Amino acid sequence: MQRTERTAGSVPPAIVARRKVDEMKSAISLGLVVLVLLLSGRAHAAPTTIDVDALTTLVSAVAEAEQNVHRVQALAAQDRERVNAFIADAAQARVAADEAHRNELRASGALGDAEGRLDLLQKGFDRFAAASYVYGPIASAETIADPAELMATAALTESIVLSRKNAADDLSEARTRRVDDLQRARAAAEESERALVETEERRADAVRALANSQHAAADWQRTLNELVAQRNQLQERLDAVTGSHENMPQDPSPVPVPQSSSDPTEAVDRLLALAETSSHATAAMGRTFLARLSTSAQDIPALPARPTSSGPIPVSAGRRASEYVIARALTQRGVDYSWGGGTATGPSRGIGGGADTVGFDCSGLILYAFAGVGIELPHFSGRQYELGRKIPVAQMRRGDVVFYGEGGGQHVALYLGDNVMVEAPTPGGVVTVSPLRTSDMAPYAVRYIES
C-alpha cells in the first residue's frame, strides 16, 4: 500500500506556506514603497498626465498581488487534499486488514479440517493396530497344506499389508498437511495482526493531519486577508492613477478557508465508515450498469471481489459509460462544496469546515461520478491521478479527468470538452461548470474509461 510521504506530525503545510507568503508580502510592501516614491515625485504633474513607468510598475504589482492571492488559495486547497490523502490511506489499510482477517479465517478453517482428518485417520490406524494385536499374525505359509487356503491367505496378507501401508501413508500425509496448514494459519494470524496495527497507525495519521489542518485554518484565513488587503491597496492606487475602477476584481474578498472545532477523531471514523459502504455501493452500481449493457447474463463480464479503478467496462461501451459518468456529475450542479464530502451514492457531510455541510469536495465529486459505472476511486486527487491511463492534456477528450498541482494533489475536475469542465471548486462555492483553467494544470489528464 502506498503511503502518504509526509507524516501527519510534521510541520503543517500552512506554516511552511506562511513563510513563503511572508516573502510575497515583503515584496509587495517594497513595491508599495517604490510606487509611493514614483508617484509622489510626479505629484505636481498635470492631472491628465500619466507616468508610463509608474503605471507599468503599478499594473505589474497588482497582477503579482492577485497571483499571490491565488497561490495561497491553491496551497490551502492542496492542504485539504493532503488530509484526504491520509484518510484514503487509512481506508485502504482497513480494506487490507479486512482481507487479512478473511485469510486468517480461511486458514483457520483449513487447519481445523486438517486436524479433523488427522484425528479420523489416527483413530482408524489405532483400530487397525489393535485388531492386529488381538487376532495375531496370519498363519505362516509353511503350515498351510491346502493350495486354495494358501492362495486365500496370501491374498489376505497382501491386502492387510497394503491397507496398513495406505493407512500409514494417509496418516503421514495428514500430519504433513496439518503442519503446513498450521504454518499458514500462524502466518495469516500474524499478517492479520500487522494489518490491524497498520490500520490504527494510518487512522492516527489521518486524525493528526486533520487536527493540524484545523489548527492551521485560522492562519490560512489571516494570510489571505492580509494579501487581499495589500492587493486592494495596490488596486486603489492604480485606480487613482488611471481614474478608472474597471480593473477592480469583481469579488475582492478571499475564498473562505473552512474552519471548525469539531472532533477530528469522530470525523475520520465517520469518513472511514462511509468509505466502506461507498465501496459496496460502487460494486452494486457497476453490476447494474453492466447488466444494462448486456443482452444476457452470460454477456456480463466477471466483476472482481472489489470494484477497480479501471473497471470491467467493454471498450465498445466506453462512450456510453463516459456519458453516464458526465450525466451523474452534472446532476450535482448547485450542490454545496464540503471538504471531505461525497461518496459513491451522493453528497455527504464533510470534515473540518465542511462537517456541517452536505456536499462534495473536488475528489469526492469525481469519486461519485465514476462510481455509477463500477469504477472505484480513492477520495484524494493525488491517488486518482495515479490510476487509469495518462493522456497529454492536448489530447484529452470529453470524459477524461483533469488535475492541478504537483502530482495532481491540489484539485481535480471532469472535462466536458470544448474547454469546459465540471468541478466542486472551493469552499463557499457549489458544483458548477467552469471554463477550463490551464494555470497549475498537471501535464497529463487521466482516462479511466477506454473507448
DSSP 422: E
CA-atom Rg of the chain in angstroms: 35
Identify the bridge partners of residue 258 per DSSP, sorted by sequence position: none
Residue 242 neighbours by CB under 8 Å, 6+ apart: 50, 55
Is residue 415 within 8 A of residue 445, CB to CB? The reply is: yes
CA 172 and chain centroid, separation: 49
Residue 112 neighbours by CB under 8 Å, 6+ apart: none
Cell 476584481 appears where? 249
Tell me how far apart the alpha carbons of residues 327 and 329 are, in angstroms, rounded to a whole number: 5
Is residue 423 part of the annotated active site? The answer reads yes
Is residue 286 within 8 A of residue 292, CB to CB? The reply is: no
Is residue 362 part of the annotated active site? The answer reads yes
Residue 19 neighbours by CB under 8 Å, 6+ apart: none
Kind plus residue range of the DSSP H or E element containing 100: helix 52-135
Cell 517604490 appears where? 34
Tell me how far apart the alpha carbons of residues 68 and 63 are, in angstroms, rounded to a whole number: 9
Q: How many CB atoms are located within 10 Å of the residue 256 CB?
A: 16
Q: How many CB atoms are located within 10 Å of the residue 64 CB?
A: 16
Is residue 206 within 8 A of residue 90, CB to CB? The reply is: yes
In the set 81, 191, 198, 423, the catalytic residue is: 423
Is residue 62 within 8 A of residue 15, CB to CB? The reply is: no
In the set 81, 362, 376, 379, the catalytic residue is: 362
Q: How many CB atoms are located within 10 Å of the residue 232 CB?
A: 16
In the set 191, 198, 379, 411, the catalytic residue is: 411
Can you give the length of the chain in residues? 451
Is residue 325 within 8 A of residue 315, CB to CB? The reply is: no
Tell me how far apart the alpha carbons of residues 402 and 444 are, in angstroms, rounded to a whole number: 7
Q: With left for phi above 0 and alpha for psi between -120 and 50, is residue 250 left, alpha or beta?
A: alpha
Distances (CA, A) of 327 to 322, 323, 366, 419: 9, 6, 12, 17
Q: What is the dihedral of CA 215, 216, 220, 222, to 10 degrees?
A: 60
State the catalytic residues: 362, 411, 423
